[in-house]
Each structure stands twice: as structure tokens, then as C-alpha cells.
Chains A and B, each alone.
Chain A
Amino acid sequence: MSHVILEHQARFLLLLHAAGAIVLVGASTHHFLIALGYLRGRFKVRLGRIYAITVAIAYGVTFLLGALVYPSYRYLVRGLYLDRHEIWASNLFEMKENLAVVGLVISIAALILSRAMDPSLDRHTRIGYAAFVFTQTAIVWFNVVSGLIITMARSV
């Protein structure tokens, strides 16, 4: 008997979520290096656009898969176990999920900027773009590491 939506698919969805996160962390880190290059006067614009769209798609897919697993986690993992025995993991997860939304919005913003700007001419936009990419990469790394730690404590 299933108690929450997609309960029986939760492990498979979590596996796909993790696979998406692997793509995302790789693409984000490469995007970070490209944005760092913009600040140092090296403008690999075409590559920057490719990584921006790769990150946005990988982020959207990973985010959606996480959102589908969330009800199973909320009751079966957090409600029945973590809130009782590993409260720090519950709190870390809430932090991770809220930061993930910030990262999603920022990755979309970076995608739009990557296609609207000319980094060699526009200093302000270049700095804003780099700020978006750095923040989004930091969020992705934080979320991947904290997701692994939480999963070690308890998983779906």
C-alpha cells in the first residue's frame, strides 16, 4: 500500500536525481571557470553559452526529480525518522531545498544573460553574470555534498 505519491518509485527517482546532480555539478564547475575567465579578460562566449544552457537544463531536470521524490522523503524519511533521531539532517535538508530554489532562479538568469550580453563590451553585465554563476555553483556543490550526507543518515 502506498502512503504518499510516487512512494514505490522514490528510490528510482532518487537515483535519477543523483545522476542529474552529477551532470549538474560538472557543468556548473566548467561554467564557473568560463565566468572566471570573463573577469580575467578571456572571453569564451560560445562555450559560456553552451555551459549556461547545459546547467539550466540539468538544473531543471534535477530539480523536478527532487520535487517528485520530496513527498516520500517528507513523510517516510523526515517525518518518521530524521525528525526523531537525526534532527540536524532534517534542518540541513530544509536548507538544501530552499537554496535549490535560489539556484534554479539564478541558473535561469545566467542563461538569459549569457545570450543577451557581450562580455567583452559590457563590464556591469559581465560582473553580474559572474556573480550568478559563482553563487549557483556554490549552491550546487553545497547541495550535492549535503544531499550525500543526508542520504548517509537515512534515505527513501
Chain B
Amino acid sequence: MSTTLPQDRSEHSSNVPIAVDAAVMTFCWSFAFLLLHPFPTLWYYPLEHRWELATEPTGLAMAWYGRTLFSIAVSGLGGAITWRILRRRGRLSPEIQDGWMGALVVSIVFVVLVIVVTNLGQHPVPEPLPPWYVPR
């Protein structure tokens, strides 16, 4: 079954995909940046039950929450700015859309490669075993 959008809605949303692509691209680059560069991030300390905005943690801490929140916020901002710029314009030319698509694919491949490379061959330091710990 094929469904088509109403004409007015179709015109109104002609550049929505460009804004969505921009949001995804902004996410990819900000997430990759945070994986590659020391940058002030929100760290969660699971044993101390507290949060801290810092570049390097002091003790057992998790950057994943802060990195995720930051990148999603930047992504939303990137998409919103693009949407605001393009919403009153007509549909972009096919050449620009092709270029945009290429940039999107490169961004996704880049962030996936950064994730894989930065996590291969890591040598994490284990936590000291507490007195109550019972191996199983």
C-alpha cells in the first residue's frame, strides 16, 4: 500500500530531511570529538553517587552519560539551527542534497570507526578488590 502526503504538508516539510541529517551529522562529530579529545564532560561517580563536570576524573567514574547528553543536546541544536535557516526556503537542489547525503554517510562511518578504534586494545585498570568481594 502506498500513502502520499498532502501537498501542503509535503511542501512545508521539504527541508525537514536536511535538518534531520544535519542533527545526525552534528551528533556524529560531537560524539567523535568527545571520544578523541579531553574535554570538560559530566562524569558520574557510581561509588560516590555524585556527578562532576571535569576533563579528567578522580577515581572510578563514567563519562558515557555526560558524553551522551552533550552530544544529543548539540545534535538537537544543530538540527534546530538548520531547520530555522531552511524552513522558509524552497527545496534544495539535487546536487546539494547529494552532497549532504555524502556528508551524512561519511559522518556516520567516521563516528563508528572512532568508536571501534578507540575501544580496541584498551588496557583498563581493574578496581581494587574490596574485603566483602566473593569471587563466583
Contact = CB atoms under 8 A, between A and B. Distances in A.
A50 to B, nearest CB: 12
B58 interface: no
Chain B, interface SS category:
helix
Contacts of B129: 80
Interface stretch (A16-24, A25-33, A51-59, A105-113): A105-113
Chain A CB within 10 A, most for which of B44, B46, B94, B104: B46
A83 B124 contact: yes
Contact of A116 (B16, B64, B111): B16
Contacts of B101: 124, 127-128, 131
Contact of B65 (A67, A99, A105, A117): A67
A105 B13 CA distance: 20
Interface string A1-16: 1011100000000000
Nearest to A98: B115
B41 interface: no
Interface of B: 1-5, 10, 13, 16-17, 20-21, 23-24, 27-28, 31, 35, 44, 46-47, 49, 60, 62, 64-65, 67-68, 71-72, 75, 94, 97-98, 101, 104-105, 108, 111-112, 115-116, 119-127, 129-130, 132-133
Enumerate the 9 nearest inter-chain pairs by beta-carbon distance, A residue then B residue, closest first.
A79-B127, A83-B126, A71-B46, A84-B126, A116-B16, A45-B3, A124-B97, A125-B17, A83-B124
18 contacts: A44-B2, A45-B2, A70-B62, A70-B64, A71-B62, A74-B60, A74-B62, A78-B124, A81-B126, A94-B122, A101-B64, A101-B67, A102-B27, A102-B108, A112-B20, A118-B4, A129-B17, A135-B108
